[in-house]
Structure 1
Amino acid sequence: MAAPRANCSALRALSVEYKSLQEEPVEGFRVKLVNEDNLFEWEVAIFGPPDTLYMGGCFKARMKFPTDYPYSPPSIRFLTKVWHPNVYENGDLCISILHPPVDDPQSGELPCERWNPTQNVRTILLSVISLLNEPNTYSPANVDASVMYRRWRESKGRDKEYENIIRKQALAARVEAERDGIQVPLTLEDYCIKTQVKPSNAESQAEMPDFYDDDYDEDYDEFSDDSDYVDEDDNDSGNGES
């Protein structure tokens, strides 16, 4: 898919963030580009934290960034099946940090809990990992999952329905990931990122497409066409909002 029509500041911001996450990975997730010619769509692998229901799972998702990032938030859609109070049936994630900072009393969210340009991919995905284990059930995207989660929590784990579904999904996700050659961390030691030697500038340049280029204005047409960018998923995504 062709890259969206973009402004230089968005491209530069994404280039810097992507390069940083390649050189200094963060525990709990890994990222890569869906297409090396498009910095506006990332594939994410989110690992279930140890000692949680999601332990051993590798949940794949897509992040799509708007052309005015970081002034507007990206969207996240899970590709792996996830039964969760804050995930719609089509995989779209509903989380405050990705909502525009408007005053909406009915949502139960304060503007300060929503998106602001100081956020970045690291803070977003760490918030997603935290949300996996601590769902927001006040404005759920999946009402049935929310009811089931509350029943499981209030019974102090005696009602196993919610737990069994999550563990089954985590196991299935792990099997699929291992089939794709992904090593899923199963212990806290494996989960935590160890300090690694940074690649040299030459190695980094060889591994990373040169999006961060002062001459980008001259090459702008390589990343755009005569029509505005249209998200191919817009027509089939869920209409509900949290």
Structure 2
Amino acid sequence: MASKRINKELKDLQKDPPVSCSAGPVADDMFHWQATIMGPTDSPFAGGVFLVSIHFPPDYPFKPPKVSFRTKVFHPNINSNGSICLDILKEQWSPALTISKVLLSICSLLTDPNPDDPLVPEIAHMYKTDRAKYESTARSWTQKSNPDVDDDLALRLSLSLSL
């Protein structure tokens, strides 16, 4: 059951990928995927590329996938281990949800944190009391976590312009 559903989701993702996201299996292991999320433009994570690990349980979709950030993120709902505090990955999970919807929810969480249900209370406090400091710190972490993104983009642009 699980592998059939996971294969279907992979096909659906390839046909109609969510905006700013991609995902697929690591090597030939259909139960372990890696996703890439582009930092939403209307957030302090703009310009960032975030790697996310997805592990499907054997009883998927009746149990949620284990999803975690592999890229460091300064966010009240994402801790230093990459764990994500998101209701649909826990008690609000439903077999009707898909990885595509999970990725979109994570993008939404980046844009719109939930400081009232934090995984990192100190960051939630900063978000509530000093939004400018939160945003500048999140931007700084995003740039440190993605040092080569701008250089790589500049290189690709210069190569495409010289053709």
Range into which the TM-score falls when normalised by the shorter chain:
0.7 to 0.9
The answer for the alignment partner of 2:129 in structure 1 is 151
The answer for the alignment partner of 1:24 in structure 2 is 16
Query: What do the CA deviations read for 1:40-77 (whole angstroms, capped 9, x no partner)?
Result: 11111111111321111111110111111111001111
**In the alignment, is the contact (CA less than 8 A) between 2:26 and 2:32 conserved in 1?**
yes
Q: State how 1:58-97 maps to structure 2 within 5 Å.
A: 58-97=49-88
Measured in 2, the distance between the counterparts of 1:60 and 1:152 equals 28
The answer for the alignment partner of 1:11 in structure 2 is 3
Q: State how 1:86-125 maps to structure 2 within 5 Å.
A: 86-100=77-91, 114-125=92-103
1:49 counterpart (40, 43, 56): 40
**In the alignment, is the contact (CA less than 8 A) between 1:57 and 1:169 conserved in 2?**
no
Matched, 1:171 2:143: yes
Q: Please tell me whether Structure 1 or Structure 2 has the larger radius of gyration of its CA atoms.
A: 1
Number of residue pairs aligned between Structure 1 and Structure 2: 154
Greater fraction helix: 2
* Unaligned residue ranges in structure 1 (runs of 5+): 1-8, 101-113, 154-159, 184-242
The residue identity in structure 1 corresponding to 2:118 is P
Q: Report the TM-score when normalising by structure 1.
A: 0.59
Aligned CA-pair RMSD: 1.9
Matched, 1:132 2:100: no
How far 1:178 moved relative to its partner?
6.1
Measured in 1, the distance between the counterparts of 2:97 and 2:53 equals 18
How far 1:95 moved relative to its partner?
0.4
Query: What do the CA deviations read for 1:10-44 (whole angstroms, capped 9, x no partner)?
Result: 000000111221232221211122222x1111111
Secondary structure of residue in 2 paired with 1:175 = coil
Measured in 2, the distance between the counterparts of 1:23 and 1:118 equals 19
Query: What do the CA deviations read for 1:153-172 (whole angstroms, capped 9, x no partner)?
Result: 4xxxxxx3211111112223
Measured in 2, the distance between the counterparts of 1:162 and 1:41 equals 33
The residue identity in structure 1 corresponding to 2:3 is L
In structure 2, the CA distance between the partners of 1:11 and 1:178, relative to structure 1 (3 Å rule), is: farther
The answer for the alignment partner of 1:103 in structure 2 is none
The answer for the alignment partner of 2:31 in structure 1 is 40
Measured in 2, the distance between the counterparts of 1:98 and 1:40 equals 16
Greater fraction strand: 2
Measured in 1, the distance between the counterparts of 2:148 and 2:7 equals 29
The residue identity in structure 1 corresponding to 2:16 is E
Measured in 2, the distance between the counterparts of 1:58 and 1:68 equals 30
Measured in 2, the distance between the counterparts of 1:95 and 1:182 equals 31
**In the alignment, is the contact (CA less than 8 A) between 2:43 and 2:110 conserved in 1?**
no
* Unaligned residue ranges in structure 2 (runs of 5+): 155-163
Question: Among the aligned pairs, what percent are the same residue?
Answer: 34
Measured in 1, the distance between the counterparts of 2:144 and 2:13 equals 27
